[in-house]
């Protein structure tokens, strides 16, 4: 998490979340990549804030605490990096981590990270191709404002005093 913060893929205060058995866990990214301000919203809508004041040094310790202490689930393995979502980008932390590896450790990035990033970018290109581009507004109003005698005189005077004529 600290690396994701350092290269600005996430920011302090960004929310991360995951769901487990229709319960939603939300935390905020704190300094150094620690996770703070945990809220759990249970399936029935009850909000559990027992973990709110705790600070977790890693994603794994945070998700385990949410499951064990927040939901009283035991013997549960949870792949946090693959399932926890960064709310602002709507991407998994694994996806962000793969991007970090590719952009920061280019020669050390694994083939898996490289292909994950290629696939993510291909998907993004596909989405952008489907997006409709709004036509530009006419520049007639701007042109009309710039073509007044006063503006023309100003630029004529400016042209005689500019450095390019020296």
pLDDT of residue 105: 67
Please report, in tens digits, the pLDDT of each residue of the chain (166 residues total).
Answer: 898 998 899 999 999 999 999 999 999 999 999 999 999 999 999 998 889 999 999 999 999 999 999 988 887 777 889 999 999 999 999 999 888 878 776 666 778 888 888 888 888 888 888 888 777 778 887 777 777 888 888 888 888 876 655 4
What's the whole-number average pLDDT of the chain? 87
Percent of the chain scored above 90 by pLDDT? 43
Q: Is residue 91 within 8 Å of residue 85, measured between CB atoms?
A: yes
> Sheet of 47-48: strands edge to edge?
47-48, 35-41, 23-29, 15-20, 85-86, 91-92
pLDDT of residue 102: 82
Rounded distance between C-alpha atoms, residue 156 and residue 151, angstroms: 9
pLDDT tens-digit readout, 89-134:
999 999 998 888 787 766 667 788 888 888 888 888 888 888 887 7
Report phi then psi at 88, rounded to 5. -65, -40
């Amino acid at each position: 998490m600290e690396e994701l913060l350092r290269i600005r893929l996430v920011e302090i205060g960004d929310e991360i979340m995951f769901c487990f058995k229709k319960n939603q866990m939300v935390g905020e990214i704190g300094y150094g990549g620690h996770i703070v301000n945990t809220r759990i919203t249970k399936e029935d809508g009850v909000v559990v804030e027992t973990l709110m004041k705790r600070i977790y040094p890693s994603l794994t310790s945070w998700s385990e605490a949410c499951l064990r202490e927040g939901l009283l689930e035991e013997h549960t393995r949870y792949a946090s990096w693959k399932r926890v979502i960064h709310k602002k980008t709507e991407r998994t932390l694994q996806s962000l981590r793969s991007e970090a590896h590719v952009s920061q450790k280019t020669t050390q990035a694994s083939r898996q990270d490289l292909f994950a990033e290629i696939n993510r970018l291909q998907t993004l290109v596909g989405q952008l191709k489907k997006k409709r581009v709004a036509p530009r507004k006419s520049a007639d109003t701007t042109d009309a404002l710039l073509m007044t005698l006063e503006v023309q005189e100003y630029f004529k005077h400016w042209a005689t005093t500019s450095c390019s004529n020296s």
